[in-house]
Amino acid sequence: MAAELHVELVAADRNVWSGEATLVVARTTSGDIGVMPGHQPLLGVLESGPVTIRTSDGNTVVVAVHGGFISFADNKLSLLAEIAELADEIDVQRAERALERAKAEADAAAERRADVRLRAVTGH
């Protein structure tokens, strides 16, 4: 049995996901970072992007995170996000529509949000 770390993914208004994982990959402002059990205590700023959690039972959870923080200490990883959506919760058609609308209105922030959502679902 591989070592595990405990993950708490919380958004500002709810607890999004929590459980055991073997690897968490997130995008910080200075690049992607992968955290495995026993990592050095870490506190970083997240970019908006998909966060990949490899759970201990071999599944992969993908979450679209829009800004926030990653903090790791004592084998406990906290992902704090202002907005976080599980890939399963994302409505692809709605995200696509939002992406098109954002492109049409040249709203860079909205376009980025929609893009992150779509990438979380498709996994690219």
Partner 1 sequence: MGAQLRVYKRRIRAVTATKKITKAMEMIAASRIVKAQRKVAASMPYATELTRAVTAVATGSNTKHALTTEVEAPTRAAVLLITSDRGLAGGYSSNAIKQAERLTERLRAEGKDVDAYIVGRKGVAYYGFRERKIADSWTGFTDSPAYADAKRVAAPLIEAIQTETAEGGVDELHIVYTEFVSMMTQNAVDGRMLPLSLAETSAGAQDEDRAKGEILPLFEFEPSAEDVLDALLPRYVESRIYNALLQSAASEHAARRRAMKSATDNAGDLIKSLSRLANAARQAEITQEISEIVGGASAMADATAGSDK
Q: Which is nearer to partner 1, 12 or 108 (CB)?
A: 12
Other CB atoms within 10 A of residue 107 CB? 14
Place of tokens 């200075």: 30
* Residue 58 Cβ vs partner 1, minimum distance, rounded to whole Å: 26
Residue 110 interacts with partner 1 (CB under 8 A): yes or no: no
Residue 33 interacts with partner 1 (CB under 8 A): yes or no: yes
Residues numbered 53-92 forming contacts with partner 1, rule: CB under 8 A:
68-71, 73-74, 78, 80, 82
- Which runs of E-coded beta strand occur in 29-75? 31-35, 42-46, 49-55, 60-73
User: Closest Cα to residue 47, out of 121, 99, 119, 100?
Assistant: 119
| 3-class state of residue 17 by DSSP | strand
From the list 8-16, 85-93, 102-110, 111-119, the region that binds partner 1 by CB under 8 A is 8-16
List of residues contacting partner 1 (CB under 8 A): 8, 10-15, 28-30, 33, 40-45, 68-71, 73-74, 78, 80, 82
